[in-house]
């Protein structure tokens, strides 16, 4: 039975940590080690909670705050398991997730990532409609959660999480490289991931800031420009097609305006107006 290392970065979220830990301990797969990375928490209660953890199978690493990507890298570097599961300290898991993912990974070496379906909780409460489609679609949109499961050897081969993803999307950026290395992705149909939504989270701040999103998307492209070129052939060609489509849309808008200003259009609208009124009355 291969060992799975569960990596839990924690920055000032101590009040949620035990719910996350309990969900890991309840996994139907037993060969687990848990590594909590205290990423320079400044909250006294978080430090108290982490400091009080003294359990076999749980390792705590304290480090200065360098961001989520660096914290995950630190935890994975210390991991002794062949398979890695990253999970943020304010989220939790369904109890069969690890078992089902390990069965897939150990039986098919071509699989690079195993993910699942998820559900929000907290300020939102709904199933997350994300569906992995293809490597091509992942270059445009991230359809996998940050808790996708993968082999440590594959992760080290592609170069870990990029620490220049300072405002988020570090999982998406890593997945692009992982899928480029190993094309096969399996998304389990079960809801095994429960994603806490709260005001002020990194994702919340990123969604509210267009400039931050653009900045991180541009970093993704810069980090992986060879993959984007391989997929589309010519970035300039793509941009030219985009400009052409914008011009076509603009031309159609102008044509619509010209049609609406013609005498025949205005006369037709005038003639049809009484019939529209009668139709509205009948509907009532």
pLDDT tens-digit readout, 154-198: 999 999 999 999 999 999 999 999 999 999 999 999 999 999 987
% of the chain at pLDDT higher than 90? 73
CB-based contact 72:161 (threshold 8 Å): yes
- 256 pLDDT above the threshold of 70: no
Backbone phi, psi, residue 231, to 5°: -75, -40
- 143 pLDDT above the threshold of 70: yes
pLDDT of 198: 75
Beta sheet of 111-122, edge-to-edge order: 92-93, 184-197, 111-122, 127-128
Joined tokens for residue 221: 């492209």
Give which of 106, 104, 94, 75 is closest to 5, Cα–Cα. 75
Q: How far apart are CA 158 and CA 23, in angstroms?
A: 29
Integer CA distances (angstroms), 246 to 128, 140, 215, 240, 260, in order: 32, 19, 23, 10, 21
Mean confidence (pLDDT) of the chain: 89
CB-based contact 42:96 (threshold 8 Å): no
Domain ranges of the chain: 4-232, 235-283
pLDDT of 242: 81
Integer CA distances (angstroms), 281 to 258, 273, 275, in order: 31, 13, 10
Length of the chain: 284
Q: Which of 22-26, 71-75, 76-80, 249-253 has the lowest mean pLDDT?
A: 249-253
Beta sheet of 4-10, edge-to-edge order: 58-63, 32-39, 4-10, 83-86, 150-151
> What fold is seen in the domain 4-232?
Spore Coat Polysaccharide Biosynthesis Protein SpsA; Chain A (3.90.550)
- 269 pLDDT above the threshold of 70: no
- H helices of 109-168, in order, are 135-138, 152-158
- 114 pLDDT above the threshold of 70: yes
Task: Collect all residues with Cβ–Cβ distance below 8 Å to 73 and sequence separation of at least 6.
Answer: 160, 161, 163
Strand 83-86 with 58-63, pairing:
unpaired
């Amino acid at each position: 039975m291969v060992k799975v290392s569960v990596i839990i970065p924690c920055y000032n979220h101590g009040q949620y940590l035990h719910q996350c830990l309990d969900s890991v301990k309840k996994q139907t797969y037993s060969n687990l080690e848990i590594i909590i990375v205290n990423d320079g928490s400044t909250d006294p209660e978080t430090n108290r909670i982490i400091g009080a953890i003294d359990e076999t199978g749980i390792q705590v690493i304290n480090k200065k705050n360098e961001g989520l990507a660096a914290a995950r890298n630190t935890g994975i570097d210390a991991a002794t398991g062949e398979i890695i599961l990253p999970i943020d300290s304010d989220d939790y898991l369904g109890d069969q997730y690890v078992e089902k993912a390990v069965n897939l990974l150990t039986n098919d070496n071509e699989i690079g990532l195993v993910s699942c379906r998820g559900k929000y909780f907290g300020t939102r409460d709904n199933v997350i409609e994300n569906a992995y489609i293809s490597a091509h679609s992942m270059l445009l949109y991230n359809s996998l959660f940050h808790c996708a499961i993968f082999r440590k050897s594959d992760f080290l081969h592609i170069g870990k999480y990029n620490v220049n993803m300072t405002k988020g999307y570090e999982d998406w950026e890593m997945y692009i490289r992982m899928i480029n290395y190993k094309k096969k992705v399996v998304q389990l149909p079960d809801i095994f991931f429960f994603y806490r939504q709260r005001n002020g989270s990194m994702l919340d701040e990123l969604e509210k800031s267009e400039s931050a999103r653009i900045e991180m998307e541009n970093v993704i492209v810069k980090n992986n420009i060879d993959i984007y070129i391989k997929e589309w052939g010519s970035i300039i060609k793509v941009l030219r097609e985009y400009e052409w489509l914008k011009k076509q849309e603009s031309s159609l808008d102008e044509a619509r305006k010209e049609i609406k200003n013609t005498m025949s259009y205005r006369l037709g609208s005038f003639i049809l107006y009484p019939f529209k009124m009668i139709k509205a009355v009948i509907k009532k």
